[in-house]
A = this chain, B = another copy of it.
Amino acid sequence: MKVYALLGGPTDLWPADIKGKFLNAKKAGDLIVGVDRGSLYLEELGITPDLALGDFDSLKKADLAKIESNVKDIRYSNPVKDLTDSELMLHTVFEDYRINSLNIYGATGGRIDHFLINLLILLNPSLRKFAEQVSIVDKQNKVIFFNPGLHLIEKIADYPYIGFASLAAIKDFNILRARYELHHYSGDYPRVFSSNEFLPNTSQFEINFKLGMIAAIYSKDVNRFHNL
Contacts and interface: CB of A to CB of B under 8 A. Distances in A.
B12 A227 contact: yes
Query: Which residue among A109, A119, A123, A195 has the maximum number of chain B CB atoms within 10 Å of its CB?
Result: A109
Interface in A111-133: 111-114, 116-117, 119-120, 123
B168 A113 contact: no
**How many copies of the shown chain assemble into the complex?**
2
Interface residues of A, number: 40
B189 A168 contact: yes
Interface string A126-169: 00000000000000110100000000000000000101010111
A203 interface: no
A123 B189 contact: yes
A146 B120 CA distance: 20
A147 to B, nearest CB: 13
A192 B227 contact: no
27 contacts: A11-B224, A11-B225, A12-B224, A12-B227, A84-B194, A110-B222, A110-B224, A111-B140, A111-B141, A111-B161, A112-B119, A112-B143, A112-B219, A113-B161, A113-B163, A113-B192, A113-B195, A113-B219, A114-B194, A116-B165, A116-B217, A117-B192, A120-B190, A120-B192, A123-B189, A168-B168, A227-B227
